Structure 1
Amino acid sequence: MKKKIYLFIWMLSIVWISGCANDTNNVDKEKVTLSISAASSLTVAIDEIKAMYEERNNIKLEINYASSGTLVNQMKQGAPVDVFVSASKEWMNQATEEGLIDKSSVVPLLYNRLVFGTNEKNEQISFEDMVTTEKAQIAIGDPESVPVGAYAKEVLQNKNLWDTWQSKLVYAKNARQVAVYVESGNVDAGFLFQSDAIAFKTINVIEVIPESLHSPIVYPAGITTQTANEEGASQFLRFLQSETAQSIFKTYGFEVR
């Protein structure tokens, strides 16, 4: 009788230990979440990188795309972010000055070009046509918060067109929206990033804007000071700099220097 009791107790112990082990495995397998705030012009490239990264790592990436200015303002208001990728040095500098980003973590991740483009149906329209056509509508990002718009404003100021083009300009809330306006034909043309012109297949590039007409288009990336997972954030930032990720970025028109 005693042997049967001991055997029963031993079996219960094995079941209890196995249950504990399974609970531990479930904890180990629980995915860690990283919050990434990225400029909207990175959408297609980072979506592809996200799928690859999540497949290779026990991590879930939550990506928030918007204009760089909007993303910085969201962080100021307490939005949870681990890694920030900006489409301009100015907005990254503001984020570091506000104590939102660890300055020592910031790296110049990518470069881009500014182009003047239109819907492919308007293939014959040139930049000069836009200058002489009074009723033309030109899409740009809002220069106050959208880097592609700030770069476009510099170009127009350098060409002495900023004041005279005010009635022609249609402001967009981010770089992707500029591309949507151009692709849809709701505007005659627009200033957009080279990467968006590639991502939107029916956009025809009229002119690649000379870099001498605007500030360098740099995409800096950095880790926030509030991250609760500095190791995970650092690992993802390193991956963005890897040959694998950089190759994806180049596919979509970004430049690595």
Structure 2
Amino acid sequence: MTPPQLVDRHALARNRRRARPDALFLHDEAVIEVQERLAAVNRQFTKPAIVTPFAEIWAGAFPDAKIIPDAEVLDLAASAHDLVIHAMALHWANDPVGQLVQCRRALCPDGLFIGLTLGGQTLATLRATLAEAEAAQTGGLSPRVLPMGEIRDLGALLQRAGLNLPVADSLTRRVSYRNALHLMADLRAMGEANAMAERPRHFTRRGILLGAAQRYETDADGRVEALFETICLTGWSPHDSQQKPLRPGSAVQRLEDALNAARTGATKNDS
């Protein structure tokens, strides 16, 4: 039995075709973030691949990389790459674990995976104001903003996908807009408009949009602020040279003994 699809891929592709290059600042910042992280890794990567819906942005920064779209089945050969970057598209995946598994299989041993995706704090205020406005207008709620994963849950996906040494951390970006309507327009320009499979198939009532705009808290200048959270996931394909956790019960000293020794040493130093 096929599970229900969260994302309408046809609507998503349509939304992305309408995106404007000048609105893709989150992708530009993601490129810089990846470059900085790679610079901190003592490794030369010669066979990179990048999964992205906006090839032109990433191809310019990584001219030697294989650039592929974030399709349900990724065009990646097994063990063909020493670096795979999944760039700002995982939040639109119907099967995020499957995406990570495919990336891990494409890595040669001790290859690096870096994934960047929007996280659960993204657009929290917009979600709340739209829900309040729709409930006031219609007495119900419709799926209007894509649910996004929390950092703890997304980090756990790395281990489920078979990646070693998993790390998940987040970056937040606050963006100021003239009002909430301009924020919504910018989301469309970013290709991040509603593409959920269960979305309403009619234009949103003007009263709901205006109601959300009125509920959105403004700053001293009358502007609104939107928060975008980018979660960065990193992990390595398994290799014998990597650090391994100790087996349970293999410690040579009990934790209690170590703590007691530390307290005793501190007492002697104080005296």
TM-score, scaled to structure 1:
0.30
TM-score, scaled to structure 2:
0.28
- Between 1 and 2, higher relative CO (CA 8 Å, sep ≥ 6) is seen in 1
Q: When you count helix as a share of all residues, which structure comes out higher? A: 1
